[in-house]
Amino acid sequence: MDKIQINGGRKLKGEVTISGAKNAALPLIASAILVDGTCEFFNVPHLMDIKSIKLLLEDLGARCTFDDHVMTVDGSGIHKIEAEYDLVRKMRASILVLGPLVARFGHAKVSMPGGCAIGARPVNMHLTGLEALGANIHIDHGYIEARADRLIGSDIYFDTPTVTGTENLMMAATLAKGQTVLRNAAREPEIVCLADALNDMGAHISGAGSPMITIDGVDKLLPAKVTVIPDRIETGTFMVAAAATQGDVRVTGCNPDHIGGMISKLKATGAQIETRPDEIRVRGGETVKSVDIKTLPYPGFPTDMQAQFMALMCTARGTSMIHESIFENRFIHANELMRMGADITLSQANLAMVRGVPELQAAPVMASDLRASASLVIAGLMAKGTTVISRVYHMDRGYEAMEEKFSALGADMKRIK
């Protein structure tokens, strides 16, 4: 397997352009199942997860092309309603085909999803939501099977905001008979992007971005051209890396409105941040101040930035408390950071105390999940000496050309085949 080698201690300087958001592109591509025709998606990142969902849709019978960040999906040839284990196990977002399949074809059979090992992420709210829409759900031998002659609109309440659950049920409800109301819905920008795309296809959705989304079902959806929003997590990752290396980086092609929480916390560490409509400049200070964070559903501090921020706090002055409230097993990277000299105490399963040390030490480390890989890259950029990160296939699932982008900013970073 590939590894990443980093010779740390260099300040990042220059300009980096942000790619399209993985977490927006995946549900958008899945939504093409709802359309008997060809949809075009622009600004799609070249990632392993994108390749995985393309293979999944092709196995269902869709005709897909992917060239120069443009993916076309012709759903007119879909004839199969089963998403098989070998295609689903690599990526948790595969569950997003469940709602569209049962909405359009009245029948879906999807393997229970896989993905990163960051704690239990049950799909029970997806299933209870589909049952509320009139689907008959049966789970057998690791597969979820849903049947419904036609889904019927309903009033659905989520016990906790769920991004993929909101997306799955929003897509399913577009073709349901009558009105569906999703309460305590997720509010992420990716939800708004999907709702806008579905409306362009002819859906009637209002309230996306708020805790209550209303969907008035229609008989069919039509092809549309959709642009994927910038990746706010990639944006935050490069911002933290700039601050961690006392660098000066212009992050372009981003949307500052999507990352207000991250900007606020980075400013509190002493970094200087300037924003424009599609650009953020980050200048790191000579020292980093310790800051507490608690991950929360959007618009709170994102769980997908917790690991990167922890790496930054490893050399901050003082002690920071990091509270992970979304997933119960998302501190695996802490042990790898401690291998590099970080002083971290895990007092509870969801609480970490990080005492700043003067500097991190280069060491061989292993990525446990997608965002953990980013935190280790940032730590490697901070540390003096050569850090080698293994299991970087996690990184390839969610970051496009990461080593090339960091190298262009002056990092001594390369991939070892």
> Is residue 55 helix, strand or coil?
helix
Please say if 254 is a catalytic residue. no
The span from the CA of 116 to the CA of 369, in Å, is: 5
Which residue is associated with the tokens 């990716």? Answer: 190
Q: By the 8 A CB rule, do 95 and 106 touch?
A: no
Give the count of beta carbons closer than 10 Å to the beta carbon of residue 356.
Answer: 19
The span from the CA of 89 to the CA of 231, in Å, is: 24
The span from the CA of 409 to the CA of 407, in Å, is: 5
Q: Return the H-helix or E-strand segment holding 266.
A: helix 260-268
Q: State the binding site for phosphoenolpyruvate.
A: 22-23
Q: Return the H-helix or E-strand segment holding 165.
A: helix 163-173
The two structure tokens encoding residue 33: 């199942």
The span from the CA of 120 to the CA of 140, in Å, is: 19
> Is residue 123 helix, strand or coil?
coil
Q: By the 8 A CB rule, do 123 and 89 touch?
A: no
The two structure tokens encoding residue 143: 């597969």
Q: State the binding site.
A: 22-23, 92, 304, 326
The span from the CA of 152 to the CA of 58, in Å, is: 28
Give the residue from 164, 153, 69, 93 showing the smallest Cα distance to 124. Answer: 164
Query: Phi, psi (5° rounding) for residue 182?
Result: -100, 120
DSSP structure class, residue 19: P
Q: State the binding site for UDP-N-acetyl-alpha-D-glucosamine.
A: 92, 304, 326
Q: By the 8 A CB rule, do 291 and 312 touch?
A: no
Give the residue from 76, 81, 366, 397 showing the smallest Cα distance to 234. Answer: 397
The span from the CA of 86 to the CA of 90, in Å, is: 8
Q: Which of 116, 193, 254, 314 is catalytic?
A: 116
Give the residue from 98, 37, 101 showing the smallest Cα distance to 73. Answer: 37
Q: Which residues are catalytic?
A: 116
